[in-house]
């Protein structure tokens, strides 16, 4: 939602986790890029939920099945296990109640895929450490007073939340500043330091 | 206009200038009121050609005072079809690609059996002897028309307002016969406020001495004043405060100053009077009573144990709902509650809210965002249905 530079890479990582013909709900579907990618390459049965009315109208005009709604409020209307995959791409940090949203994702989908910007990235740490100011980077371009990102977390924070909710991390990927995957063999602290974005595949 | 004025009877009611399908005593229409309507007839229009697979049919459901003349000149008013902006060769609903059907609803006054039609038992117009007609009755009749065409599954059913109610009823009652559904500016039930406005309209008609307990044709009269007032009140609900202000403000009508009388000093008064007058030329007063009642009685959730999602349980139909920001007759929340029910039923659903100040009537107007949404939805549904462009 607010990370633009490596958006494609993030989407491709997400898309690669989804097998063909799956039933997918994309929460925070934005301009519909992921849904379109999944429909074109994986023939999925895709639905979207998007906050911005403009984004929704554009999606529907492009033939995508999208409704206007709020991840914080409208997930409760979806039935249990209604989808094979529920995707929350670059939206978790903008939700009012990330824990509840994550819980809902795990209820609605057999699997949940969550991607988010890592607030533990060294650039973010350095910004606060050296300047003593809230970090503003190219990927997180907002000032503290106008940011829609009200609930930042680090990769470690997110892993802890997953533990708390009893969710199993089936797969995790961290992307560096160039959108390259960080080697699987690296330890968590390394990911948490050098990963600019993270993509998690979760199971209840 | 001539059709209604001449001899104060409604020729279109019995002998419509569009095709008409007549059902004899062997094929009665079962009504929710608990009786049978028989014989009865459905007047309809079609545009385009039904393909060999009979898979390209689109049913358009008309609103409260609409009719079957959706894409061609109205024989009563001489005006263009009510949705010609949308439907026709090369238009968004392309009649060189799709077979479009639109029928006058049961209870209407342009050729389908309604209160202005001749009651075969008496040789006089039905008047209030016609049983109350519900949205489900209208849809049941349409289904018999679709059977007549040998169409198993409609590619799309669409309509706005009361037409949207029919779309929802179609999708709920005959899910296997509806591939895609496009209800616009509508609700799954008529709200208390909407029933209230309808009641004002009905009381205005019935207060007119020319109404004669519904037997006005027999007295050679028509309750024009009452029906005009009903239309004036209703028309306000189709617009928005912002649009009225933009269009008329407090502007005076053909005068420099207030007259200190009860003439139409203001443009808005003159406009409403004109709306009322032109309406009575094309619509039957009793039919107006029946149409408004059908909407009042509509409550899809109540028909399914109070849970709207159950009205759509297991549906495979693709849905797209549209609402308008300034529509206070069917506000966005009405559409949203349908969307939530469809979500709960696991249905495929799109939902677009369009920003406009044109109120409820926006669905009948040239709204680019509405057309873009319909185009996108119909296009992707057509691909899924295997219809080539």
Compare A9 and B88 and report the one with higher pLDDT. B88
Q: What does the mean pLDDT of chain A come to?
A: 90
Q: Which residues pair with A198 in a beta bridge?
A: A116, A174
Identify whether residues B176 and B280 lie together within a single domain. no
Identify whether residues B182 and B210 lie together within a single domain. no
Which of the following is catalytic: B161, B172, B180, B323? Answer: B161
Burial, B88: exposed, middle or buried (Cβ in 10 Å; 0-12, 13-18, 19+)? Answer: buried
pTM: 0.93
pLDDT at A4: 44
Identify whether residues B198 and B160 lie together within a single domain. no
Domain boundary among B238, B272, B293: B293
Identify whether residues B166 and B245 lie together within a single domain. no
Q: What does the mean pLDDT of chain B come to?
A: 95
Question: Virtual CA dihedral for B171, B177, B182, B183, nearest 10 degrees?
Answer: -30
B 210-229 residues with CB < 8 A to A = none
Q: Which domains does chain A have, with CATH numbers?
A: 7-203 (3.40.50.150)
Q: Is the pLDDT at A8 greater than 70, yes or no?
A: no
Mutate to test the interface with A, among B184, B341, B344, B351 (most CBs of A within 10 A): B351
Domain with B266 in it: what CATH number?
A: 1.10.1740.110
DSSP 8-state symbol, B299: B
Identify whether residues B281 and B248 lie together within a single domain. yes
Identify whether residues B184 and B317 lie together within a single domain. yes
Rg (CA), chain B: 21
B351 touches chain A (CB under 8 A): yes
Given a contact cutoff of 8 angstroms between Cβ atoms, the answer to whether A118 and A192 are in contact is: yes
B95/chain A closest Cα distance in angstroms? 20
Identify whether residues B153 and B74 lie together within a single domain. yes
Domain boundary among B271, B293, B315: B293
Chain B residue numbers with beta carbons less than 8 Å from the beta carbon of A47 are 348-349
- Closest residue by Cα to residue A68 from A33, A38, A116, A28: A28
Q: Is the pLDDT at B319 greater than 70, yes or no?
A: yes
Q: What is the pLDDT of residues A23-41, one digit of tens each?
A: 999 999 999 999 999 999 9
Helix (H) or strand (E) holding B237: helix B224-238
Chain B residue numbers with beta carbons less than 8 Å from the beta carbon of A65 are 318, 348-350, 380
Q: Is the pLDDT at A89 greater than 50, yes or no?
A: yes
Q: Is the pLDDT at A7 greater than 60, yes or no?
A: no
Neighbouring C-beta atoms of residue B278, cutoff 10 Å:
15
Given a contact cutoff of 8 angstroms between Cβ atoms, the answer to whether A71 and A51 are in contact is: yes
A178/chain B closest Cα distance in angstroms? 35
Identify whether residues B213 and B176 lie together within a single domain. no
* Domain assignment of residue B269, given as a range: 194-293
Domain with B324 in it: what CATH number?
A: 3.40.50.1820
Helix (H) or strand (E) holding B181: strand B178-184
- Rounded Cα gap, residues B359 and B326, in angstroms: 5
Identify whether residues B310 and B225 lie together within a single domain. no
B357 Cβ contact list (under 8 Å, min separation 6): B240, B242, B243, B246, B325, B326
SS3 assignment, position B319: strand
Q: What is the pLDDT of residues B240-294, one digit of tens each?
A: 999 999 999 999 999 999 999 999 999 999 999 999 999 999 999 999 999 999 9
The tally of domains found in chain B comes to 2
| Cβ pair A63:B349 closer than 8 A | no
A16/chain B closest Cα distance in angstroms? 23
Share of chain B above pLDDT 70, in %: 97
Confidence of residue A6 (pLDDT cuts 50, 70, 90): very low
pLDDT at A136: 84
Given a contact cutoff of 8 angstroms between Cβ atoms, the answer to whether A30 and A1 are in contact is: yes
Q: How many residues does chain A have?
A: 204
Identify whether residues B181 and B201 lie together within a single domain. no
Burial, A187: exposed, middle or buried (Cβ in 10 Å; 0-12, 13-18, 19+)? Answer: exposed
Mean pLDDT, to the nearest integer, of B233-238? 97
Burial, B72: exposed, middle or buried (Cβ in 10 Å; 0-12, 13-18, 19+)? Answer: middle
Confidence of residue B8 (pLDDT cuts 50, 70, 90): very low
Q: What is the pLDDT of residues A39-54, one digit of tens each?
A: 999 999 999 999 998 8
Given a contact cutoff of 8 angstroms between Cβ atoms, the answer to whether A42 and A26 are in contact is: no
B191 touches chain A (CB under 8 A): no
Q: What is the pLDDT of residues A108-121, one digit of tens each?
A: 999 999 999 999 99
Mean pLDDT, to the nearest integer, of B322-343? 97
pLDDT at B11: 83
**Nearest 5°: phi and psi at B327?**
-80, 110
Q: Is the pLDDT at A103 greater than 50, yes or no?
A: yes
Please confirm, yes or no, whether B360 is among the known catalytic residues: yes
B354 touches chain A (CB under 8 A): yes
Mean pLDDT, to the nearest integer, of B151-166? 98
Q: Which residues pair with B156 in a beta bridge?
A: B58, B180
Compare B157 and A181 and report the one with higher pLDDT. B157
Q: Is the pLDDT at B349 greater than 50, yes or no?
A: yes
The three state secondary structure string of chain A is CCCCCCHHHHHHHHHHCCCCCCEEEEECCCCCHHHHHHHHHHCCEEEEEECCHHHHHHHHHCCCCEEECCCCCCHHHCCCCCEEEEEEECCHHHCCCHHHHHHHHHHHEEEEEEEEEECCCHHHHHHHHHHCCCCCCCCCCCCCCCCCCCCCECHHHHHHHHHHHCCEEEEEEEECCCCCECCCCCCHHHHHHHCCEEEEEEEC
pLDDT at A9: 72
Mean pLDDT is lowest, of A127-141, B81-95, B100-114, for A127-141
pLDDT at A1: 40
Q: Is the pLDDT at B205 greater than 80, yes or no?
A: yes
Mutate to test the interface with B, among A26, A47, A67 (most CBs of B within 10 A): A67
Q: Give me the interface pTM, i.e. the ipTM.
A: 0.86
Confidence of residue A189 (pLDDT cuts 50, 70, 90): confident
Please confirm, yes or no, whether B190 is among the known catalytic residues: no
Between chain A and chain B, how many beta carbons pairs sit less than 8 Å apart?
65
Identify whether residues B265 and B343 lie together within a single domain. no
Mean pLDDT, to the nearest integer, of B131-150? 98
Cis peptide before B39 (omega within 30 of 0): yes
Domain boundary among B293, B319, B341: B293
- Rounded Cα gap, residues A131 and B127, in angstroms: 83
Which of the following is catalytic: B265, B303, B327, B335? Answer: B327
| Cβ pair B350:A78 closer than 8 A | no
Identify whether residues B45 and B87 lie together within a single domain. yes
């Amino acid at each position: 939602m607010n990370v633009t530079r490596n958006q494609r890479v993030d989407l491709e990582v997400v898309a690669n986790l989804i097998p063909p013909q799956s039933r997918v709900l994309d929460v925070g579907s934005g301009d519909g890029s992921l849904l379109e990618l999944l429909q074109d390459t994986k023939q999925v049965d895709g639905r979207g939920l998007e906050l911005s009315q403009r984004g929704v109208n554009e999606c529907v005009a492009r033939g995508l099945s999208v409704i206007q709604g709020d991840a914080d409020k409208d997930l409760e209307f979806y039935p249990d296990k209604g989808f094979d995959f529920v995707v929350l791409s670059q939206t978790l940090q903008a939700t009012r109640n990330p824990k509840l949203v994550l819980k809902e994702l795990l209820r609605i989908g057999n699997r949940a895929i969550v991607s988010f910007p890592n607030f533990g990235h060294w650039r973010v740490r350095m910004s606060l450490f050296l300047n003593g100011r809230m970090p503003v980077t190219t990927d997180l371009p907002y000032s503290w007073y106008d940011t829609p990102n009200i609930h930042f977390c680090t990769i470690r924070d997110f892993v802890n939340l997953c533990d708390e909710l009893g969710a199993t991390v089936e797969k995790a990927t961290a992307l560096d500043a160039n959108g390259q995957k960080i080697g699987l063999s690296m330890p968590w602290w390394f990911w948490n330091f050098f990963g600019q974005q993270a993509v998690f595949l979760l199971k209840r | 206009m001539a059709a209604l004025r001449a001899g104060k009877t409604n020729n279109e009611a019995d002998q419509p200038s569009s095709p008409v399908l007549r059902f004899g005593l062997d094929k009665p229409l079962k009504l929710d009121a608990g009786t049978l309507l028989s014989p009865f007839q459905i007047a309809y229009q079609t545009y385009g050609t039904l393909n060999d697979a009979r898979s390209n049919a689109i049913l358009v459901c008309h609103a409260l005072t609409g009719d079957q003349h959706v894409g061609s000149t109205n024989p009563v008013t001489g005006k263009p079809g009510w949705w010609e902006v949308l439907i026709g060769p090369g238009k968004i609903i392309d009649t060189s690609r799709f077979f479009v059907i639109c029928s006058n609803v049961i209870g209407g006054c342009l050729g389908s059996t309604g209160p202005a039609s001749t009651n075969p038992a008496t040789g006089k117009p039905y008047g209030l002897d016609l049983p109350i007609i519900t949205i489900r009755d209208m849809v049941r009749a349409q289904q018999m028309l679709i059977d007549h065409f040998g169409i198993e599954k409609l590619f799309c059913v669409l309509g706005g307002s009361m037409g949207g109610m029919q779309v929802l009823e179609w999708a709920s009652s005959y899910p296997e016969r509806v591939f895609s559904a496009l209800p616009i500016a509508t609700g799954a039930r008529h709200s208390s406020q909407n029933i209230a406005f309808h009641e004002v309209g009905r009381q205005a008609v019935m207060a007119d001495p020319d109404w004669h307990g519904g037997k006005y044709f027999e007295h050679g009269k028509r309750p024009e004043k009452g029906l005009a007032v009903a239309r004036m009140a209703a028309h306000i609900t189709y617009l928005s405060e912002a649009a009225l202000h933009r269009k008329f403000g407090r502007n005076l009508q053909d005068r420099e100053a207030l007259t200190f009388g009860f003439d139409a000093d203001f443009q808005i008064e003159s406009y409403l009077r004109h709306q009322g007058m032109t309406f009575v030329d094309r619509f039957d007063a009793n039919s107006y009573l029946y149409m408004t009642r059908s909407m009042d009685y509509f409550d899809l959730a109540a028909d399914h144990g109070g849970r709207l999602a159950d009205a759509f349980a297991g549906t495979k139909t693709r849905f797209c709902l549209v609402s308008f920001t300034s529509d206070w007759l069917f506000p966005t929340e009405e559409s949203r509650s349908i969307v939530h029910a469809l979500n709960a039923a696991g249905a495929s659903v799109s939902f677009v809210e369009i920003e406009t100040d044109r109120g409820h009537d926006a669905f009948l107007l040239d709204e680019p965002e509405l057309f873009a949404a319909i185009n996108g939805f119909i296009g992707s549904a057509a691909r899924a249905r295997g219809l080539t462009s």
